[in-house]
């Protein structure tokens, strides 16, 4: 009786309404240089032809496993796939994006070389109608923090990257996770019934990891202009309040709060402010204002001038409409200050040029060469 081999990587893929992207995205996984993988595709009640496309891939490649269930959201689909995953490592993937051909092989090599609980790496962005790849937002640029190191033999913990625990990218597809590490806790699952469920998962996994490693390449290419993305859906904004509470409950319960309170309050204000404009909602405004009014100066003294300004706009307004008006006025005032500063700089530059011009006109060299200039002008006429 043959023993079923354990794949090196289980790729978790929640699928909903992405039929036009599936051929490209699934192909980018099946064409990986690391062949010893499994793809666990969970069709989350898609009303389009996603299930048929997935079944077509499964019929051609035994590494593709398809699960179909009623719609329950991305988190529930990922949780269902985690229940089925058998690989040494877990990789989460969104089916409107793609990965470079060598991604899983090099990430697996980094993970095993370092015996790390998770590997973090850079991402690039792309747009539907633009062939240029945007590398300007890599998520994690740890090669600028840890210089002159061999990343295949180097690990760190959250203590070395505290800002990145709650105030950077949260997406699970920017990391490769050791399955043994995830299985060692009973709560490494995505919260249900709420958007942004990847935030608590990220916070837990980074804080608990005894060894984190980094692969300094742009392995994942993220589709920036997908209108169905959770980040592009304004109605999800109110869920960020629940997410902030979940994160706070976790870091208090696990004893991280005092160590990370500055990072947490920055996270709290930043996340609430981030969705204020896109929510375009009086209800969201009032919820946000009530949350922020409970903070005192000691809570927010390290959040920085930009966030502090947004914070003050919210608490000094009585309504969303009033906030937007105040925001517009303050932004115009700030723009006017910048223009005045620029204008003053130009005036200073002009004064310096005028002084230099006067000095040149009064110089002996200018006087001596006057006859030559006069002849030259006559000749040119």
Q: What pLDDT does residue 366 have?
A: 61
248 within a domain of the structure (yes/no): no
The pairing of beta strand 98-99 with beta strand 9-15: unpaired
Q: What pLDDT does residue 153 have?
A: 97
**Pairwise CA distance, residues 162 & 302, whole Å:** 14
Q: What pLDDT does residue 4 have?
A: 66
Domain count, the chain: 3
**Pairwise CA distance, residues 32 & 364, whole Å:** 74
Please check whether residues 268 and 373 belong to one and the same domain: no
**Pairwise CA distance, residues 9 & 374, whole Å:** 82
DSSP 116-179: -SEEEEEEEEEETTEEEEE-S--S--GGGTS-S--GGG--B-GGG-THHHHSS---GGGEEEEH
Please check whether residues 286 and 165 belong to one and the same domain: no
Please check whether residues 371 and 280 belong to one and the same domain: no
For residue 287, the enclosing domain spans: 258-316
Residue 337 pLDDT level (bands cut at 50, 70, 90): confident
Question: pLDDT digit string (tens) for 291-323?
Answer: 999 999 899 999 999 999 999 999 999 999 999
Question: pLDDT digit string (tens) for 232-286?
Answer: 445 578 899 999 999 999 999 999 999 999 999 999 999 999 999 988 899 999 9
Between 3 and 151, the more confident residue is: 151
Examine the pLDDT at 380 and tell me if it is beyond 70.
no
Between 354 and 219, the more confident residue is: 219
Examine the pLDDT at 347 and tell me if it is beyond 90.
no
253 within a domain of the structure (yes/no): no
Examine the pLDDT at 131 and tell me if it is beyond 90.
no
Q: What pLDDT does residue 381 have?
A: 57
User: What average pLDDT is seen over the chain?
Assistant: 91
**b or e along 146-155 (b: 16 or more beta carbons within 10 Å of the residue's beta carbon)?**
eeeeebeebb
Examine the pLDDT at 230 and tell me if it is beyond 60.
no
324 within a domain of the structure (yes/no): no
Between 127 and 149, the more confident residue is: 149
Q: What pLDDT does residue 228 have?
A: 52
Please check whether residues 83 and 140 belong to one and the same domain: yes
Please check whether residues 163 and 267 belong to one and the same domain: no
325 within a domain of the structure (yes/no): no
Examine the pLDDT at 48 and tell me if it is beyond 60.
yes
238 within a domain of the structure (yes/no): no
Please check whether residues 348 and 305 belong to one and the same domain: no
Q: Mean pLDDT, to the nearest integer, of 149-170? A: 96
Residue 129 pLDDT level (bands cut at 50, 70, 90): confident
Residue 2 pLDDT level (bands cut at 50, 70, 90): very low
Please check whether residues 20 and 141 belong to one and the same domain: yes
Q: What pLDDT does residue 379 have?
A: 59
Q: What pLDDT does residue 14 have?
A: 97
Q: Which of 165, 186, 184 is nearest to 120 (CA)?
A: 165
**Pairwise CA distance, residues 116 & 86, whole Å:** 18
Please check whether residues 42 and 139 belong to one and the same domain: yes
**Pairwise CA distance, residues 46 & 17, whole Å:** 5
Q: What pLDDT does residue 370 have?
A: 67
Please check whether residues 267 and 375 belong to one and the same domain: no
167 within a domain of the structure (yes/no): yes
Please check whether residues 311 and 359 belong to one and the same domain: no
Please check whether residues 372 and 278 belong to one and the same domain: no
Domain termination residue (choose one: 232, 247, 268): 232
Q: What pLDDT does residue 231 have?
A: 44
Examine the pLDDT at 103 and tell me if it is beyond 90.
yes
311 within a domain of the structure (yes/no): yes
Q: What percent of the chain has pLDDT over 90?
A: 77
Please check whether residues 308 and 276 belong to one and the same domain: yes
Question: pLDDT digit string (tens) for 163-198?
Answer: 999 999 999 999 999 999 999 999 999 999 999 999
249 within a domain of the structure (yes/no): no
């Amino acid at each position: 009786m043959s023993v079923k081999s354990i794949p090196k990587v289980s790729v978790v893929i929640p699928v909903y309404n992405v039929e036009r992207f599936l051929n490209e995205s699934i192909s980018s996984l099946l064409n990986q240089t690391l062949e010893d993988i499994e793809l666990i595709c969970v069709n989350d009640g898609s009303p389009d032809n996603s299930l048929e496309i997935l079944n077509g891939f499964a019929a051609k490649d035994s590494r593709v496993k398809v699960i179909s269930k009623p719609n329950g959201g991305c988190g529930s689909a990922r949780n269902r796939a985690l229940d089925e995953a058998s690989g040494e490592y877990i990789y989460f993937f969104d089916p409107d994006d793609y990965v470079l051909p060598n991604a899983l092989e090099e990430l697996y090599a980094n993970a095993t070389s370092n015996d790390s609980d998770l590997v973090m790496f850079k991402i690039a962005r792309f747009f539907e109608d633009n062939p240029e790849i945007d590398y300007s937002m890599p998520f994690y640029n740890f090669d600028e923090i840890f210089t002159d190191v061999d990343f295949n033999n180097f690990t760190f913990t959250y203590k070395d990257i505290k800002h990145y625990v709650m105030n950077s990218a949260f997406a699970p597809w920017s990391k490769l996770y050791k399955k043994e590490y995830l299985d060692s806790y009973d709560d490494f699952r995505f919260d249900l019934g709420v958007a942004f469920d990847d935030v608590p998962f990220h916070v837990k996994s980074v804080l608990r990891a005894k060894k984190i490693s980094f692969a300094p390449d742009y392995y994942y290419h993220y589709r920036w202009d997908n209108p169905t993305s959770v980040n592009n859906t304004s109605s999800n904004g109110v869920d960020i309040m629940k997410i902030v509470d979940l994160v706070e409950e976790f870091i208090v319960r696990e004893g991280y709060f005092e160590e990370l309170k500055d990072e947490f309050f920055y996270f709290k204000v930043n996340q609430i402010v981030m969705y204020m404009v896109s929510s375009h909602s009086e209800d969201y405004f009032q919820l946000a204002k009530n949350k922020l009014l409970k903070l005192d100066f000691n809570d927010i003294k390290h959040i920085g001038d930009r966030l502090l300004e947004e914070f003050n706009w919210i608490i000094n307004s009585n309504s969303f409409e009033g906030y937007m008006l105040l925001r517009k006025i303050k932004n115009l005032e700030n723009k006017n200050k910048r223009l005045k500063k620029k204008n003053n700089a130009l005036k200073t530059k002009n004064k310096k040029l005028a002084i230099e011009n006067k000095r040149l006109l009064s110089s002996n060299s200018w006087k001596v060469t006057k006859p030559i200039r006069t002849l030259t002008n006559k000749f040119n006429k």
